[in-house]
Structure 1
């Protein structure tokens, strides 16, 4: 991997030329499009002259047909450049460099010009020329060979992502930008393609989709792996990306691969999803972690409320502070249904720990998890080591989704603990300090394929992750008294503090007089206690409104297991202060749970079924927890004696 980042380091060193003239946050807007331009120029070099010969006399404003170029020039790409220049020849005429470079970029076919328009590249060329830097930048990029024979697509993906990471660091733009390491992508693809016997069919067609495509790394790896399994397979790569720079790089890579130009779309997947009427064989995604979706809230909420389950978000909405579960639901919606001729789709998505357990029963997150489990979409979750990503060290998980599980996996979920499967990198890259080896990828994929229980592989019924939250009520039993503490509490209540000082003073006199009359005795009758209060008020000539009387009686009372039972319509009144909740496993009867787990401790408790909620959570770590008992006191004492002995020996040496 180091050689890949050496390429990136050299390219990024163009910043030394820009320093002083441009600010750090501007470097990437210059370096990234020049990198794309250099890549495309290198790709086109072998057929450059043949294309020029084939396009002589054709309308310069009309893109030549890829089919015609393939037949006449042996040109295998869906894009071309009809300029007589290339990046090397441009340097031979420094006096006209600005105009010639602009003409060169505008001589690309329209499907590529869009890439440079995203970067506002013409403005960059003009600005560099005005600062006498254009020739120097061009000469810098001429020193690096980005031809596919020297730098294959996988290496180029590493280079692009490292450049964007450096750009993000220079711009202080790190939140939510977590590029997916290639070995993680390979693991995701390896699991997706495992047990896919149909992939060996000659000429088979497979669609791969990434709604958060980034620079296209996931699509590229999927393409390479499928074609390695079946060289005759036709792989269609489709994706959507919000960030303009990443989109431009992804599109450039896909165009080089010969993919149709409309397969990569720039836009917001949550607000304006591409490929609305299309589903896919495979879906891959690494959505941004913990990113606020307030900007998309109106559109997403509208789809949830109006379209319901006919849209993407019928199951529920997560909290606005983290939209990762929106991408999870979106990806599920884009996987083929089992009724399709080629079977149901499979997906793999990288998420942090939050979607596993955030949100209690009845919350949006819990409802989404339960919907996924109810529909049996979740096949496997792989827990990855920490420190795997460039810009975050948090725990991450790969969710494997399948809309057409094999019989033995139906209504089952496999958890694979790969948190200890890693090798430490010799040199960290950002927050990335660990990586998966090829052997680890093979091992994890085998665990998935074998679908067996082990120390690092656990298999559960989908209902094992479901539960019911029941609300336990207890009857309100009270005693009443005019103690100093209770009087102080009553006088601090909001309705009392709103009274003027004179009214508050008279009320205090009433309560203190009632306390004297009661002689410090507690009452176990609300009716009798209220009579005592009213008698004291009448004795002081103070009129109390009914609402104030009720509030005072409540504040002057406390719970007492032996106190008066309050009822309403013949039924006990629930004491909100004693209310509690319990999570009951899905397959357990709640009444039996009440009798076994609650009644022995609080015999008067009951369940308010109107408040019961259904929930789902996946406590991944808990299922792989191994209890390690603490060391014995004898072992600890022995260690202490050994340490003290060494200290004493050294002290003796000092004294000597």
Structure 2
């Protein structure tokens, strides 16, 4: 594949000069698509011409062509061209090459509108004007892209490799549209694992959807794997893609496979779900990492508040990262559970932030809560770093299901596959590590709960209850205790204060008040009020409050400050500076892992962990929030004790000795 991709891309040498590096892909991609279509149509051109001549309607032509071209290896063609041209024939008339190619492309059936997304007619005219059209056409005419030479899976690899090269040459997020095949195969294996027996049944029909479909690589791998399990299985592939070039490639690729071209639609999935009325057996997605949704903020927020029924109703993440919006979308597209207990399954590639970002009550925490409380998260797999072409950060596969088996209900499986990466002989972008077939099988066995002969899993696995990731954030208050004294320093602070300084005569009045110490705010306030009144100074309630806040300083020996009408302990005023929070896990101290156990669990935690250290603290129950976090790394952390001090001393003495020996050599 690397050799083929390099050969296809080598036409860039012809383009160098009239075209910049960033423009190469805009020429190479549509010509690659055209050549692939041409090679696929080649054995059927006579049949195609007969059907076009015999039938006028698009639907009639499509139906008859599909029937006539169907074979054991192909679902049949559902597109055609009314033009007699091929690249070879067009090149035979060099004086009219541009017109011939435009006629060729314009003759394709209406369902093959992908060349409009490439603006191919304009590309042809520009190549002709820059005297490069014949060379480029001749280059592609020599490449064999027939299905016998290049399988659908390999063609998908080629398209994505070219997309990668294009993005890299344009310095435009290289690898953004390219999901490595080892990752895709692992994701597909995990999603299919529990359904393997059902997929082998006769008459199997499955729908597969990718909301960030790119060039369709995930759909291709998923379809081929399903056909490996059951050659007679029928698949319906669906996808939505925002980028016009990758959308065009995907649509052409699915057309070649005999899929319905209407099942691939262009548009931003987060703005408009082009398959709003459909749910699917399988959903696969690798959304772009770290992209913000500021440009579509109003659309997303409208759906968030849409009567609680929108995709994003459970919560909104920070505007700087759309990952959890894609997670919600994927979850919303799982088919409903039928009378046989079969529902939908999904696999989505995410970075680490959806596991833990946002505290209790935040949008991300609420989204995690929705996923866990709805029992949608089946497993999360940590991948090795440096697995992707455009990033080396930690990545995770989330496996979702709305119809878990009995032994998985209420549970989440965490699988640490970070140690199973294999170094590549040659890195591609940021990708320096891959997952071998052996490692992939080991991960799938760990997911399935299959052990080795020694009774252990080859991959670290831990299983948790959904509510093991739930906690309450509790606000702990301590009393406000203030000491008041009108010292020269405090008076200076008052006179320099933005709001108090302009009050005429206040500084002089405070200076005359004296420097007596008050440990009770009410007594100080009463004495100060009388003192200021005697001097004709009247402060508003807001000014009086600001003055007390400016003069008062914390003192553990001072009386508790109380609210105006309070006499009981419940009316003690809290000190904002001493306010703290505690995270109390569901089930702490053996209490039930339920929302109803809030009061007893938190009170028991407070009495055991807080009260012994700060006797005058209390809980502000009105500020209690429920949060959800999946601290993946913490659960698999392995402590490595430091080396013994004797061993460190020995190494130091050795190094010092080597340094002294070098110094003696220098001195001599």
CA deviation string 1:337-366 (max 9, x = no partner): 223657111100000011111100000100
Q: Could you tell me how far apart the structure 1 residues matched to 2:484 and 2:412 are?
A: 55
2:477 alignment partner in structure 1: 473
For residue 486 of structure 1, report the CA deviation from its aligned partner: 2.8
1:490 alignment partner in structure 2: 494
2:556 alignment partner in structure 1: 561
**1:626 paired to 2:638:** yes
**1:206 paired to 2:206:** yes
For residue 318 of structure 1, report the CA deviation from its aligned partner: 1.0
Aligned in 2, Cα 1:480/1:79: closer, same or farther, shift over 3 Å? same
Quick check: 2:317–2:325 contact (8 Å CA) kept in 1?
Answer: yes
2:43 counterpart (40, 43, 46):
46
For residue 172 of structure 1, report the CA deviation from its aligned partner: 2.7
CA deviation string 1:110-146 (max 9, x = no partner): 111x100111111111121122211111012123221
2:170 alignment partner in structure 1: 171
State the TM-score, normalized to the length of structure 2. 0.92
Aligned in 2, Cα 1:530/1:326: closer, same or farther, shift over 3 Å? same
CA deviation string 1:525-581 (max 9, x = no partner): 223323443465467665544432332122111222221112223311111121111
For residue 646 of structure 1, report the CA deviation from its aligned partner: 3.3
For residue 598 of structure 1, report the CA deviation from its aligned partner: 0.4
Quick check: 1:210–1:239 contact (8 Å CA) kept in 2?
Answer: yes
Larger mean CA deviation between 41-50 and 100-109 belongs to 41-50
Q: Could you tell me how far apart the structure 2 residues matched to 1:561 and 1:441 are?
A: 61
Q: Could you tell me how far apart the structure 2 residues matched to 1:260 and 1:97 are?
A: 32
Q: Where does 1:84-163 land on structure 2 (aligned, <5 Å)?
A: 84-112=84-112, 114-163=113-162
Q: Could you tell me how far apart the structure 1 residues matched to 2:622 and 2:246 are?
A: 50
Q: Could you tell me how far apart the structure 2 residues matched to 1:142 and 1:390 are?
A: 30
Q: Where does 1:431-470 land on structure 2 (aligned, <5 Å)?
A: 431-450=430-449, 456-470=460-474
Aligned in 2, Cα 1:66/1:471: closer, same or farther, shift over 3 Å? same
Larger mean CA deviation between 145-154 and 530-539 belongs to 530-539
Q: Give unmatched runs, 5+ long, in structure 2.
A: 589-600
2:594 alignment partner in structure 1: none
Aligned in 2, Cα 1:376/1:640: closer, same or farther, shift over 3 Å? same
> 3-state DSSP class of the match of 1:21?
coil
Poorly superposed stretches of 4+, deviation over 6 Å: none
For residue 449 of structure 1, report the CA deviation from its aligned partner: 0.4
2:528 alignment partner in structure 1: 533
Quick check: 1:472–1:605 contact (8 Å CA) kept in 2?
Answer: yes
**1:5 paired to 2:2:** yes
Aligned in 2, Cα 1:63/1:403: closer, same or farther, shift over 3 Å? closer
Q: Where does 1:77-476 land on structure 2 (aligned, <5 Å)?
A: 77-112=77-112, 114-174=113-173, 177=176, 179-196=178-195, 197-308=197-308, 310-339=309-338, 343-450=342-449, 456-476=460-480
Q: Could you tell me how far apart the structure 2 residues matched to 1:611 and 1:329 are?
A: 27
Give the aligned length: 641
Q: Could you tell me how far apart the structure 2 residues matched to 1:342 and 1:534 are?
A: 75
Aligned in 2, Cα 1:22/1:418: closer, same or farther, shift over 3 Å? same
Quick check: 1:285–1:348 contact (8 Å CA) kept in 2?
Answer: yes
Aligned in 2, Cα 1:652/1:149: closer, same or farther, shift over 3 Å? same
Q: Give unmatched runs, 5+ long, in structure 1.
A: none
2:595 alignment partner in structure 1: none
For residue 174 of structure 1, report the CA deviation from its aligned partner: 1.2
State the TM-score, normalized to the length of structure 1. 0.93
> 3-state DSSP class of the match of 2:467?
helix
Larger mean CA deviation between 65-74 and 122-131 belongs to 65-74
Aligned in 2, Cα 1:299/1:652: closer, same or farther, shift over 3 Å? closer
Quick check: 1:475–1:604 contact (8 Å CA) kept in 2?
Answer: yes
Q: Could you tell me how far apart the structure 1 residues matched to 2:583 and 2:174 are?
A: 35
Quick check: 1:47–1:74 contact (8 Å CA) kept in 2?
Answer: no
1:608 alignment partner in structure 2: 620
2:657 counterpart (641, 645, 653):
645
**1:550 paired to 2:554:** no
> 3-state DSSP class of the match of 1:495?
coil
CA deviation string 1:461-482 (max 9, x = no partner): 1111010101111111221112
